[in-house]
Structure 1
Amino acid sequence: MKVVIVEDEVAASENLAFMLKNIDDSIEILTVLDSVKASIAYFSKNHEAELIFMDIHLADGLSFEIFDSVKIESPVIFTTAYDQYALQAFKVNSIDYLLKPIDEDELAESLDQYKGQFKDKGLYTDQVKGLLNLISTKKNTYKSMYLVHHRDQLVPVKTENIAYLYIETGTVKAVTDDKQTYIMEQNLEDMENDLDPSIFFRINRQFIVKKDAIEGIKQYFNGKLIVGVTPPSPERIVVSRAKAPEFKNWMSQ
């Protein structure tokens, strides 16, 4: 099988290539493309790709933009780290996806699925446009307010006023811009799905942070980052080396 990888993180593309070869040593990696521009140039010409692995967020834009310029008929497996709203759209459109960090067993299952069912099924431009329409619709349905118990009252807390969310001893707490702390009934995973990913980012297993609440970013050892927020966090907020490129890209948007 001849494969093309569209991924702007070197470590991620190398890891994916390693796992693919480990699963099936007959797989040939034709090339790794690191941008929308490079992908358009490559797929505009005749190519031999039988399967494409495509990251959603590239340095110069969303990979969906590639389909505005070229028609890709090879099956595509999208990879994503946090686009929860897009995942439902993938399911509706029968487009496969893998969550980062990619699990090798799930990767093997995807390969088996495409070998058995989708080898000759192309991904056409109109399918992707339908996907984009679903994503655009979903963007308008993010949660705007939570009703939380505070002392003996029910208090409405607007999501736009939440600076960050974090887990403390198994309890999710929301800290607002005016330094108030509220105990939330939802778990962090559900709240991540509720929030607009252009505004909020899942830093790690413990924290979700609003972009406007970030006041500084420091380099840490081994490629990690430390994020400073306002109001100050009760614990240090660390971005892993693997997630640092994605975080930087999100901050730049």
Structure 2
Amino acid sequence: MKVVIVEDELAASENLVYMLKNLEDTIEVLAVLDSVKTSVDYFSRNQGADLVFMDIHLADGLSFEIFDAIKIDAPIIFTTAYDQYALKAFKLNSIDYLLKPIDEEELEESLIQFKEQKKGKGLISNQVEGLLHLLKDQKKGYKSMYLVHHRDELIPVKTEKIAYLYIDNGIVKAVTKDKQTYVIEQKLEDIENELDPSNFYRLNRQFIVQRDAISGIKQYFNGKLIVNVIPVFEERVVVSKAKAAEFKNWMNN
């Protein structure tokens, strides 16, 4: 069996190759691709795979973008870290998947099913649309509101109203778009994991910003960036050189 793996995490791809070889030494891994671009380039010239394992989030975008550019004439098993609620969409669209981290027994079962069912070729448009709808639904799982103390009462503050959050002497404060400041009794790390990463970004150890609150970005020395926000923040908000490229990529997406 000839296999192609589309996966941008080196450890994950190496582990999958190892398990495939361990399960069936006749399996030939034709290629390991780590991005949408390399996948489009490869499949435009090579259609000899019997089976494709494909992660959803790649280095330069979603793997579904591959199907906008090229048709893949091979059955595909998606490898995904989505939760069980989200995986219902895969089942509804009759698409095979393996939940990451991949278990060897589940991988073996998937290979057996693939051989027994003699699966059809490729994906059709409504299947891809169903998965894209799934991605939008994932946002429902992120935090939509925080209950905060305000004087002698508790009030709800919607996350969509928050412009940015920062640490002030060990205390996390949220500033809303209408210039109100509230204390949130959680660690900034925990809050980061609760917020939708398409709308909120951790600029540095002390600061999380909402996309719409960014009014401008300036080049700083040594490859760093200065981010201007609204409402105006009193101190300079700096993005390190190491994180600058990732941040600009987030802004572009």
**TM-score, length basis structure 2:** 0.61
Note if contact 2:56-2:78 (Cα within 8 Å) is conserved in structure 1: no
Contact 2:34 2:59 in 1 (8 A): no
Distance 1:70 1:78, change over 3 A: farther
Q: How does 1:107-122 map to 2 (within 5 A)?
A: 110=102, 112-113=104-105, 115-119=107-111, 120-121=113-114
Q: How far is 1:252 from its partner?
A: 0.9
CA contact (8 A) 1:217 1:227 kept: yes
Q: What 5-or-longer segments of structure 1 have no aligned partner?
A: 80-85, 99-105
- Secondary structure of 1:75's counterpart equals strand
Aligned: 1:160 with 2:160: yes
Look up the SS of the partner of 1:163 in the other structure.
Answer: strand
2:48 and 2:219 map into 1 onto residues whose CA distance is 43
Question: Deviation digits for residues 201-252 of structure 1, max 9, x if unmatched?
Answer: 244665432112233254676x7x54524233768554573x6544322201
Q: Which residue pairs with 1:174 in the alignment? A: 174
Q: Summarize the alignment of residues 87-126 of structure 1 with structure 2, pairs less than 5 Å apart.
A: 87=83, 90-92=86-88, 93=90, 95-96=97-98, 98=100, 106=101, 110=102, 112-113=104-105, 115-119=107-111, 120-121=113-114, 124-125=123-124
Are the counterparts in 2 of residues 77 and 96 from structure 1 also a CA contact under 8 Å? yes
2:31 corresponding residue in structure 1: 30
Q: Greater Rg, structure 1 or structure 2? A: 2
Distance 1:18 1:127 in 2: 28
Do the aligned residues in 2 keep the contact of 1:49 with 1:74 (CA within 8 Å)? no
Matched with 2:94 is none
Q: Deviations over 1:101-123 (max 9, x none)?
A: xxxxx4xxx16255322225478
Q: Is the 8 A contact 2:172 2:186 kept in 1?
A: yes
- The alignment-based identity, stated in percent, is 39
Contact persistence 1:17–1:29 (CA under 8 A): no
The 3-state SS of whatever aligns with 2:174 is: strand
Aligned pair partner of 1:75 in 77, 92, 116: 77
Structure 2: runs of 5 or more not aligned: 92-96
- Corresponding residue for residue 149 of structure 1: 149
Q: How many residues align?
A: 227
Q: In the alignment, which residue of structure 2 is the partner of 1:102?
A: none
SS for the counterpart of 1:48 is: coil
Partner residue in 2 for 1:228: 227
Counterpart residue type for residue 135 of structure 2: I
